[in-house]
Structure 1
Amino acid sequence: PILEVTQVVFILALKLFAIHTVMLCYTLAANGVII
């Protein structure tokens, strides 16, 4: 089913985006940008 494949790809992309965002925030916090 194409719909299931699309949903899985979307979820994986969302997880990658979430991880990237967390890592970016962690890096900024480590640099003292975010308190």
Structure 2
Amino acid sequence: MDKKQQSTFSKLTKVVVWLMLIVTVGSVLLTAILNI
């Protein structure tokens, strides 16, 4: 497999994982704030 393609794929995966983490944390914080 091409090295450049692999790095792009891993970079994309990292971005997706970070987005999911941010969305999860954000929704938890939003729920906590609304429940205060």
The list of structure 1 runs, each at least 4 consecutive aligned residues, that deviate by more than 2 angstroms after superposition, is: none
After TM superposition, the score normalised by the length of structure 1 is 0.79
Q: Percent identity?
A: 16
Look at both structures and tell me which one has the larger radius of gyration over its CA atoms.
Answer: 2
Where structure 2 has 5 or more consecutive residues not aligned to the other structure, the ranges are none
Tell which has more relative contact order, 1 or 2 (C-alpha 8 A, sep 6+).
1
Q: CA RMSD in A?
A: 0.7
More helix by share: 2
Stretches of structure 1 that go unaligned for 5 or more consecutive residues are none
